[in-house]
């Protein structure tokens, strides 16, 4: 699996038929169908100094190490855009293409990560991560299924898209 730019190139080179991903590829040659929208969570280990605070601000959060997705990823673009509102810039100590690696790093106490809440639900339920209550920092990440407008749609392709769109 690659980052968003690599996946887009694979679509246009017809190496893959469709992409199901968080975010959206901005290209007019693609059919883009929203599948789901997930709230993003600011996450840290229960031992983190901010874990017991009732509420924090974005500038307060920025004083601690951040573990974020790689530059150019759609999740990172969403986070960086939100930070612009607060006139702050992210300088993560870790970047990764793997959300799992970021969750593990946060669980181990290496810093704060920001990811779709659904990815962290088991870690939160098991007490390995907590959500930090950041004031007025409400982000959502919408997943889309995307394919080329001129894609020949076999019955199998249409069935797959329907499974993606209509499964719970």
58-100 confidence digits (pLDDT tens): 999 999 999 999 988 878 888 999 999 999 998 999 999 999 9
Confidence of residue 2 (pLDDT cuts 50, 70, 90): low
Of the chain, the end-to-end C-alpha distance in Å amounts to: 24
Parent domain of 101: 4-166
Whether 1 shows a pLDDT value over 60: the answer reads: no
Confidence of residue 42 (pLDDT cuts 50, 70, 90): very high
Residues 35, 134: contact at Cβ < 8 Å? no
CA–CA dist 151, 84 (Å, integer) = 37
More confident call, 110 vs 4? 110
* Residue 152, domain CATH: 3.40.190.290
- The predicted model gives 18-26 an average pLDDT of 81
Structurally, the chain folds into a number of domains equal to 1
Cβ-Cβ contacts under 8 Å for 31 (sequence gap 6 or more): 146, 147, 148, 149, 151
- The predicted model gives 124-150 an average pLDDT of 92
Chain-centre distance for alpha carbon 27: 20
Whether 168 shows a pLDDT value over 70: the answer reads: no
Q: Phi, psi (5° rounding) for residue 50?
A: -90, -5
Residues 68, 79: contact at Cβ < 8 Å? yes
What is residue 143's predicted lDDT score, i.e. its pLDDT? 83
- The predicted model gives 130-148 an average pLDDT of 91
Residues 46, 40: contact at Cβ < 8 Å? no
CA–CA dist 119, 107 (Å, integer) = 13
- The predicted model gives 50-61 an average pLDDT of 94
Cα atoms found within 13 Å of the Cα of residue 161, Cβ hemisphere only: 20
């Amino acid at each position: 699996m690659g980052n968003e730019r690599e996946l887009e190139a694979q679509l246009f080179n017809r190496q893959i038929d469709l992409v199901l991903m968080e975010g959206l590829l901005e290209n007019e040659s693609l059919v883009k169908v929203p599948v789901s929208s997930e709230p993003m969570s600011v996450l840290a280990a229960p031992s983190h100094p901010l874990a017991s605070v009732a509420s924090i601000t974005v500038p307060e959060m920025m004083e601690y190490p951040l573990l974020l997705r790689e530059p150019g990823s759609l999740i990172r673009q969403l986070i960086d855009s939100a930070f612009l509102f607060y006139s702050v810039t992210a300088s993560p100590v870790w970047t990764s293409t793997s959300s799992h690696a970021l969750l593990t790093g946060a669980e181990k106490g290496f810093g704060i990560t920001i990811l779709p809440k659904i990815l962290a639900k088991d870690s939160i339920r098991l007490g390995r991560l907590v959500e930090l209550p950041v004031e007025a920092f409400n982000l959502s990440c919408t997943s889309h299924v995307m394919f080329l407008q001129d894609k020949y749609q076999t019955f199998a392709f249409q069935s797959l898209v329907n499974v993606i769109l209509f499964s719970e």
